[in-house]
Amino acid sequence: MKQILFLILIIFNCSSVSKESIVKPKPIYESLSNIKITKTCSEMLKNLGQDSVKFNYTEFRISCARSENFNPNYSNGTTRSEIETLIEKKEYEKAFIGIRKFLIHDPADIMAYIYMEEIYFKIGKPDMADFFHFIAVNLIDSIIQSGDGTNQNKAFYMISVKEEYSFINLMGFKNLERYTTTDSNGQSYDVFTLENIKTGKKHLVYFNITESFLMMNRMMNKKKDVLKL
């Protein structure tokens, strides 16, 4: 509940955005599945929107992925295409409700912040639009800094399959082929053949999706515990 309250406060009460430039750290080529989480997702939400020097967006994404309520596939009947239609029809209040559903279960949902940016831009609140743009850019940047996607050791580290597809679309690629594999250390990967929409050039790109399997295992264990009651 605290996590939800923090998020709602951020969405509706923030009025400024840091103008400091994003400082890109060196790429993180080692596995992030064992990253030490020093703070919970709800704790980090209090400071969401700070620049990447003061705020660790990678830790934020992974801490959210490992939180009890994390469920990036939860929508309660609301889809992204429906949110986009609501924004197009200028039904912003309904769009806000749908976006909130996404963020409650996945506070690191990149597309949710992009939708917020678009809405605030359209209603004439550029400071708020800049704020949500800044969050989205830093979340995307934290993925880019996790690797370069050229092999398993340098795979882009994703917290969910939904984030994976959002990233692919935002980077201007379309999926031609995909398969999943696991290495000797138990790390899981999606390997995509992607096509650059503008140039038509094809790329073989690796994504580490271990967090998705960890989440599914937690959900399966939770269901087993319920059945035992």
Instruction: For residues 47-61, give the mean pLDDT.
Output: 86
**Does 198 share its domain with 126?**
no
Clarify whether residues 120 and 221 are in a common domain: no
Instruction: Identify the sign of the CA torsion 136, 141, 142, 143.
Output: positive
Domain boundary among 89, 116, 144: 144
Q: Are residues 131 and 96 in the same domain?
A: yes
For the segment 59-66, the average pLDDT, to the nearest whole number, is 92
Do 219 and 163 share a structural domain?
Answer: yes
Q: How far is CA 38 from CA 59, 135, 186, in A?
A: 8, 20, 24
Within-domain flag for 121: yes
114 and 187 co-located in one domain: no
Q: Does 27 fall in a domain?
A: no
Least confident of 23-32, 51-60, 160-169: 23-32
In a domain, 97, yes or no: yes
Do 220 and 189 belong to one domain? yes
Kindly report the average pLDDT of the chain as a whole number. 82
Residue 7 shares a structural domain with residue 115? yes
Residue 12, pLDDT > 50, answer no
Residue type, 2: K
At position 192, the amino acid (one-letter code) is F
- Distance (Å, whole) CA 157 – CA 174: 19
> Rounded to the nearest 10 degrees, what angle do helices 161-170 and 110-122 cross at?
50
User: Is residue 172 located within the same domain as residue 132?
Assistant: no
**CATH code of the domain in which 89 resides:** 1.25.40
Q: Which domain holds residue 159?
A: 152-228
Residue 20 resides in a domain: no
Alpha carbon distance 165, 160 (integer Å): 9
Residues 111 and 132 in one domain: yes
Distance between CA atoms of 140 and 13, rounded to whole angstroms?
24
Residue where a domain stops, chosen among 93, 111, 144: 144
Q: Give the pTM.
A: 0.80
**Residue 204: φ, ψ to 5°:** -95, 120
In this prediction, residue 113 carries a pLDDT of 96
User: Which domain-ending residue is among 117, 144, 171?
Assistant: 144
Candidates 176, 182, 229, 227; CA nearest to 208 is 182
Same domain for 47 and 119:
yes
Compute the distance between CA of residue 57 and CA of residue 32 in angstroms, rounded to an integer: 13
Q: Where are the alpha helices (DSSP H) in 76-157?
A: 80-88, 92-105, 110-122, 126-144
Total structural domains in the chain?
2
Overall average pLDDT of the 20-35 stretch: 38
Same domain for 180 and 80: no
Task: Establish if 112 belongs to a structural domain.
Answer: yes
Give per-residue pLDDT as tens, 140-171. Answer: 999 999 999 999 999 999 999 999 999 999 99
- Taking the C-alpha atoms of residue 6 and residue 26, their distance in angstroms, rounded to an integer, is 31
**Residue 16, pLDDT score:** 32
Same domain, 64 and 105: yes
Single-letter amino acid, residue 172:
G
| Domain at 164, CATH number | 2.30.30
15: how many CB neighbours lie within 10 A of its CB? 8
pLDDT at 137: 95
Indicate the burial class of 110 (C-beta count within 10 angstroms; 0-12, 13-18, 19 or more): buried
> Which comes out higher in pLDDT, residue 67 or 196?
196
Taking only the tens place, the pLDDT of each residue in 195-223 is 999 999 999 999 999 999 888 877 677 65
Give the tokens for residue 52. Answer: 């990447």
In a domain, 187, yes or no: yes
